[in-house]
Structure 1
Amino acid sequence: MSIPSDLRSRKRLAMRQGISNAATQLFQERGFDHVTVDDIAAAADVGRMTVFNHFPRKEDMFFDREEEGREVLLEALRQRDPGISAIETLRLLAHRLVAEESPYVRFAAGAPGFISAASQGFIETIEGSETLKARARAIRDEIAQVIAVALAGSVKREPGDPDAELAAGLLLATWTVALIQAHLCFRQKQDADEAKAIFLALVDKGSTGIQAALAGTPYA
């Protein structure tokens, strides 16, 4: 009897998560650059090629929520209230993510063996690896391009629209600075509420600037 496609999908997702969990544990214990794919395969009790079937690069096991994060941004634009500008929609999204304690903006030290997208361990692991820092920059640029296309589409403009490119670049710069400063605050004071407040204050300030820069366009 063939395995139902949804069951196969669940098994595949479970396998992927198991590999990611094993990799996360090793990255936290040893540092990203001191862990090999063979180490991860052994820890996950799978073959080396199975690891690559799920994650083309070792960095993808660390940034395993990157695609999910992109989808959160895109979904906000897809579901945008026509009466609210795209820039304001993403500003409101930041506030909603904080209110919902989303893992992307949850500031915490991180439990042993666990690295959330916003934990201090996540940031420190990136800081300790030139490979991860390079990949983080590449992901930021990739997301900016995806958002630019989505912004243009949301107002019925063609991909490559200069105003959309400008808006996306400024939005990603704003969120990047806001996250970095919030993490620095948390590292120094271990106060999650203050870190969240700094994140939102910078997102709000940056969004105001972007609205001014894009005044007269459909994005503002």
Structure 2
Amino acid sequence: MPTPPDRRSRKRLATREAISDAATRLFAERGFDQVTVEEIATAADVGRKTVFNHFPRKEDMFFDRIEEFGEILQGALQQRDSRFSSVEALRQLAHRLVAEDSYYVNFSAVSHSWIETMVGSETLQARARAIRDETAQMIAEALAEAAGQTTTDPSAVLAAGLLMATWTVAFVQARRTFQQQGDAVQAQAVFLAIIDQGTVGIDAAMQGTPYV
């Protein structure tokens, strides 16, 4: 996350990161449901109210980088090269993230532990499903905007759903590959192969629309 230019914002960001780091450590050690907000506040050396000022819900501390990833997706669509379709722009984004070894496509023991923590909590699984739906809606709106269509365009909604399905399967299969083989490079290759294959299918499904 970029460092804010002013001192007050930097201090706020540092506090948020301290809370997030403390929460992540405790969740990994004991599981999400077994950790209280009070314990996180103590570990981060802040008050309970400060925790909620930064994270309205406990699960927001677990999914603390989802908003940032959404901004990356939106940016890829809004700043895409006009020579490429919106769907192709997201395929290129996937390849760029892997080339940069981005946090979001870093398949490792740490990310595997994060997934295991989520799987172990019904609360986190429910929030993950809600985030998936929210992200699909955001992508649909960004696709429609980039194509000059209304935000309720059915084709944009369909394209967003297909994109979310493709990225979800790619993440799941890549993490499974890492779990079985312990090879991060191979996991990334699986991720990109599914993204590429899914994009071909989306292109075929969306022919005649402004999204391909």
TM range (shorter): over 0.9
2:165 and 2:122 map into 1 onto residues whose CA distance is: 20
Shift of 1:21: 0.6
Aligned amino acid, residue 33 of structure 2: D
Match in the other structure for 2:157: 165
Match in the other structure for 2:136: 144
1:92 and 1:79 map into 2 onto residues whose CA distance is: 12
Q: How does 1:20-169 map to 2 (within 5 A)?
A: 20-110=20-110, 119-169=111-161
Aligned amino acid, residue 20 of structure 1: S
Match in the other structure for 1:114: none
> Number of matched residues?
208
1:25 and 1:204 map into 2 onto residues whose CA distance is: 35
Aligned amino acid, residue 203 of structure 1: I
1:193 and 1:7 map into 2 onto residues whose CA distance is: 39
Shift of 1:51: 0.5
Query: Which residue of 193, 196, 206 maps to 1:201?
Result: 193
1:178 and 1:79 map into 2 onto residues whose CA distance is: 24
Aligned amino acid, residue 95 of structure 1: H
Shift of 1:78: 1.0
Moved over 2 A (4+): none
Shift of 1:45: 1.1
1:180 and 1:19 map into 2 onto residues whose CA distance is: 28
Identity %: 65
1:13 and 1:212 map into 2 onto residues whose CA distance is: 44
SS across alignment from 2:102: coil
Which one has the bigger helix percentage? 2
2:89 and 2:45 map into 1 onto residues whose CA distance is: 44
Aligned amino acid, residue 75 of structure 1: G
Match in the other structure for 1:219: 211
SS across alignment from 1:104: helix
1:183 and 1:82 map into 2 onto residues whose CA distance is: 33
SS across alignment from 2:103: coil
1:99 and 1:63 map into 2 onto residues whose CA distance is: 24
With the length of structure 1 as denominator, give the TM-score of the two structures. Answer: 0.93
Query: Which residue of 180, 199, 203 maps to 1:188?
Result: 180
Where does structure 2 lack aligned partners over 5 or more consecutive residues? none
CA deviation map 1:9-29 (0-9, x unaligned): 111111100100110110011
Match in the other structure for 1:17: 17
1:86 and 1:78 map into 2 onto residues whose CA distance is: 9
Shift of 1:123: 0.8
Shift of 1:83: 1.1
Aligned amino acid, residue 186 of structure 2: E
2:176 and 2:51 map into 1 onto residues whose CA distance is: 34
CA deviation map 1:164-219 (0-9, x unaligned): 00000110110001100110110011011111111111111111100000001110
1:208 and 1:135 map into 2 onto residues whose CA distance is: 30
For the aligned residues, what is the CA RMSD? 0.9
CA deviation map 1:25-75 (0-9, x unaligned): 100110001000011011111111110000000000010001100011011
